[in-house]
Chains A and B, each alone.
Chain A
Amino acid sequence: MSANIEPKDSIKQKVIGLLHNLFHPHDYFHVLGADRYTSLKIRIILLDAILSLVPLIIVITISYFWFQKILKDDFSHQLRWEIENTKQSIEFFLDERLSGLRFLSSAYTYEQLSDQKTLAGIFSKFKREVGGLVDIGVIDSNGIQRSYVGPYPLEGKSYANQDWFNEIIVRSSYVSDVFMGYRKIPHFAIAVKRDIPEKGTFWILRATIDMETLKKYPSRINLRKNDDAFIVNREGILQTPSRFQGNILEKFQQCTLPQEEIAVTEVREPADRQSMCGYAYINNSPWILVAVIKSTPYGKIPKIFRNELFILSVISIFIGIAVTVVMTQTVVNRIHKSDQEREEAIAKTEHASKLASVGRLAAGVAHEINNPLAIINEKAGLMKDILETSDDLQKNKEKFLVLINGIFESVNRCRTITHRLLGFSRRMDISHDTIDVNDAIKEVVEFLEKEMLYRNIRLEMNLQPGLPKVETDKGQLQQVFLNIINNAIDAVEEGGLIAISSGVRDEKMVRVSIRDDGSGIPREKLKYIFEPFYTTKEKGKGTGLGLSISFGIMQRLGGTILVESEISKGTTFFVEIPMKAGAV
């Protein structure tokens, strides 16, 4: 189970690490190592490219989709307009024929039209004016066809039981669904009712119309390869042939019929193909004009626009990247140069500081040696004085012995100093000795004791007896102690306190703390104190390198320096030394 979780975690950590690196340059350098300027360049270019290209891509994408939507809307409007036009044409076609029948029914009486001959005469003229008529008949109020002109012998046929006859009784005109009828050819019928008020009865003039004319109308809509347009009745039965939905009088099943008179709806098919359905109810008829548009010309953005968009994007991306690269190059080179200058300056100052510390050491040694020298000088001088004023050597023998002993003591003092100095210099080479940290501290303190004495500084040593020995570079470690204790001496007032203690931090580290009761370091300055050239001492008194060098040394030794400070209470430095070299 845990094996399953680990890879996930490591991927997550990698991603977090990558993001972290991208936004935290120092760590990034740490990870990428030596060639940090190339890394910096890559990082800036990446960030900049993301910043400039993402909005560009968003804008391009949005405008692309926006354009596509406009095209689609335009297409849908166009479709609606075509459907509306066709609907009007069909309505006009029906209206024209119904009006014709209505005119005939009012221009002629029932009796006239019931006469087969008269009706035939009228029909032949009427047919010439109004196309598509197949036959015409007059039906009385009992549903019996009184007269008929047409290709079939339908005179005397009763329509009393047919739906349309019942329907026309309540309405004045009627348009039928398409049906096969006797001829087995699809056609439809139209009829008008004429009342005879004085008799309280009515009669009907009925004509059938072939499909040829009606069939033409749906195809007026601009149809492409996969498109289809046809007429259905309210039950969804096809009234005109369709390319894909089946033959006349079959059921059209695809779209649900809308409520509005005219509508264009989008249909998402299961295969994720988009299509549009347009509908229009044809007034005074049972028909609905339907267009199913499966071709999607609006999906194709015009080539010109696409090309322009593409060229523009490429140009802007190219310019963006070029500018970013050039800018980054300039900036990083600048940084590189200033870093070099800074490093050179640090190296110079470090050298100067080394010289200064050698000078300081020399001055300190001169001072230390001066005192015993002065004693020797006075004792020897006194002996000379005595010899010059008195010849009696025997009398002054005791005195001379005391003076000579004093001279020897002073020589011993000088010897101790030179030995200590030699020991110190010997340890300047990098080496790993097993040392007692307490001894190292004591040796450093010996150098500084006089200074503290003169300034009345109290020194509290609280070194843990039997501290585990550590494997480290004694000379370097002592340089760190020297720097920190020197700083403490500078920080405290006359009569101040410096407390040095040692102890074990954990099984890996020994910890030495050096506390002073000086004025403390303000919080805002605390974060700079390990930076090179940062100093709070008076001008000319500090190089600002002591702590930064010490910090560098402790890092090399695998340890660290920590600092705590409180205003007007003092500062404590903690030097943590690993017990084994390179263990941390």
Chain B
Amino acid sequence: MSHTKILLVDDEVEFVSALAERLELRNYEVKTASNALEALGLIHGYLPDVIVLDLRIPGMDGIETLKTIKKYDPAIEVIMLTGHGDSQSVEEGMKSGAFEYIMKPVDIGELTSKIDKAKRKREKG
């Protein structure tokens, strides 16, 4: 299995940097963005396999960002990051083509297994 390229999108810089480091320790290639525009800007050059996207980010709304990503490249898999009480947004996200969702605070094992599944799906698809 080749290197999995991940893009982490969340406005909590402290959270995103620590999580990125943990994923790198697990041999993933990780880039981070703190808002939707930054994320969309990175996609072009970086071409991530999986995007871990917080649904509540400043600027563009999470669901809108998800739709834009899927429009740009349907093969990129998106895992949504949510807090509690966002079931409606999660449902909408799944309908809009998200691969999976995961609740904050994140269990690292659960996240990596979902990332791997997404990567496998991307390679098969």
A469 to B97, CA, bound (A): 54
Which residues in chain A, 351-375, are within 8 Å of chain B measured between CB atoms? 363, 366-367, 370-371, 373-375
Which residues of chain A come closer than 8 Å to B74, judged between CB atoms?
none
Looking at chain B's contact residues, is the secondary structure mostly helix, strand, loop, or mixed? loop
Tell me if B14 is interfacial: C-beta within 8 Å of chain A: yes
Tell me if B120 is interfacial: C-beta within 8 Å of chain A: no
Q: How far is the CB of B33 from chain A (nearest CB, A)?
A: 16
Which residues in chain B, 37-74, are within 8 Å of chain A measured between CB atoms? 56-59, 61
Tell me if B85 is interfacial: C-beta within 8 Å of chain A: yes
User: By the criterion of a CB under 8 Å from any partner CB, how many residues of chain B are at the interface?
Assistant: 20
Which one of A366, A382, A389 has the highest number of Cβ atoms from chain B below 10 Å of its Cβ? A382
A381 to B22, CA, bound (A): 8
What are the interface flags for B100-120 relative to A under an 8 Å C-beta threshold, 1 for contact and 0 otherwise?
000011101000000000000
Also in contact, A374 and B104, with CB within 8 A (given A381-B18, A406-B14): yes
Q: Which of B12, B21, B84, B106 contacts A363 (CB 8 A)?
A: B84
Which residues of chain A come closer than 8 Å to B105, judged between CB atoms?
370, 373-374, 376-378
Which residues of chain A come closer than 8 Å to B15, judged between CB atoms?
371, 374-375, 378
Which residues of chain A come closer than 8 Å to B108, judged between CB atoms?
381, 385
Q: How far is the CB of B65 from chain A (nearest CB, A)?
A: 12
The answer on a CB contact under 8 Å between B25 and A389 is yes
Q: Which of B12, B21, B25 contacts A371 (CB 8 A)?
A: B12
A111 to B41, CA, bound (A): 164
Which one of B18, B19, B58 has the highest number of Cβ atoms from chain A below 10 Å of its Cβ? B18
Which residues of chain B come closer than 8 Å to A386, judged between CB atoms?
25
The answer on a CB contact under 8 Å between A410 and B18 is no
A453 to B58, CA, bound (A): 6
Tell me if A27 is interfacial: C-beta within 8 Å of chain B: no
Q: Which of B18, B57, B61, B84 contacts A382 (CB 8 A)?
A: B18
A287 to B108, CA, bound (A): 140
CB nearest neighbor in B for A403: B18
The answer on a CB contact under 8 Å between A363 and B85 is yes
What band does the interface of chain A fall in when counting residues whose beta carbon is under 8 Å from B? 20 to 34
The answer on a CB contact under 8 Å between A410 and B14 is yes
A155 to B105, CA, bound (A): 160
The answer on a CB contact under 8 Å between B85 and A456 is no
Q: How far is the CB of A23 from chain B (nearest CB, A)?
A: 50
A377 to B105, CA, bound (A): 6
Which residues of chain A come closer than 8 Å to B19, judged between CB atoms?
378
Which one of A378, A382, A386, A410 has the highest number of Cβ atoms from chain B below 10 Å of its Cβ? A378
Which residues of chain B come closer than 8 Å to A377, judged between CB atoms?
104-106
Q: Which of B18, B22, B57, B83 contacts A406 (CB 8 A)?
A: B18
The answer on a CB contact under 8 Å between A375 and B14 is yes
Q: How far is the CB of B81 from chain A (nearest CB, A)?
A: 8
The answer on a CB contact under 8 Å between B59 and A385 is no
Looking at chain A's contact residues, is the secondary structure mostly helix, strand, loop, or mixed? helix
Which one of A371, A376, A494 has the highest number of Cβ atoms from chain B below 10 Å of its Cβ? A371
CB nearest neighbor in B for A453: B58
What are the interface flags for A399-429 relative to B under an 8 Å C-beta threshold, 1 for contact and 0 otherwise?
0000100100110000000000000000000
Q: How far is the CB of B50 from chain A (nearest CB, A)?
A: 18
Which one of B14, B22, B56, B61 has the highest number of Cβ atoms from chain A below 10 Å of its Cβ? B14
The answer on a CB contact under 8 Å between A454 and B57 is yes
Which residues of chain A come closer than 8 Å to B18, judged between CB atoms?
375, 378-379, 381-382, 403, 406
The answer on a CB contact under 8 Å between B83 and A382 is no
Which residues of chain B come closer than 8 Å to A367, judged between CB atoms?
56, 83-85
Q: How far is the CB of A383 from chain B (nearest CB, A)?
A: 9
The answer on a CB contact under 8 Å between A385 and B14 is no
Q: How far is the CB of B117 from chain A (nearest CB, A)?
A: 20
The answer on a CB contact under 8 Å between A374 and B84 is no
The answer on a CB contact under 8 Å between B14 and A370 is no
Which residues in chain B, 79-101, are within 8 Å of chain A measured between CB atoms? 83-85
A375 to B54, CA, bound (A): 14
Q: How far is the CB of A455 from chain B (nearest CB, A)?
A: 8
A494 to B59, CA, bound (A): 9
A389 to B58, CA, bound (A): 35
The answer on a CB contact under 8 Å between B83 and A454 is no
CB nearest neighbor in A for B17: A378
Which residues in chain B, 1-44, are within 8 Å of chain A measured between CB atoms? 12, 14-15, 18-19, 21-22, 25
Also in contact, A456 and B25, with CB within 8 A (given A373-B105, A374-B104, A375-B12): no
A20 to B22, CA, bound (A): 78
A545 to B90, CA, bound (A): 28
Q: Which of A366, A381, A403 contacts B83 (CB 8 A)?
A: A366
A454 to B58, CA, bound (A): 5
A389 to B21, CA, bound (A): 13
Also in contact, A385 and B12, with CB within 8 A (given A367-B83, A370-B84, A371-B83): no
CB nearest neighbor in B for A360: B85
A403 to B58, CA, bound (A): 25
Also in contact, A370 and B83, with CB within 8 A (given A403-B18, A453-B58): yes
Which residues of chain B come closer than 8 Å to A363, judged between CB atoms?
84-85
A573 to B21, CA, bound (A): 49
Q: Which of B12, B22, B25, B57 contacts A374 (CB 8 A)?
A: B12
Which residues of chain A come closer than 8 Å to B106, judged between CB atoms?
374, 377-378
A453 to B12, CA, bound (A): 13
A454 to B35, CA, bound (A): 10
Other A-B pairs, 4, CB within 8 Å; known A375-B15, A385-B21:
A381-B18, A382-B18, A406-B18, A454-B58
Residues of B participating in the A interface, judged by any CB pair closer than 8 Å: 12, 14-15, 18-19, 21-22, 25, 56-59, 61, 83-85, 104-106, 108
6 A-B residue contacts at CB 8 Å? A375-B14, A376-B105, A377-B104, A381-B108, A385-B25, A454-B58
Residues of A participating in the B interface, judged by any CB pair closer than 8 Å: 363, 366-367, 370-371, 373-379, 381-382, 385-386, 389, 403, 406, 409-410, 453-456, 494
The 9 closest A-B pairs by CB, nearest first: A377-B105, A378-B18, A363-B85, A374-B104, A374-B105, A370-B83, A367-B83, A366-B84, A375-B15
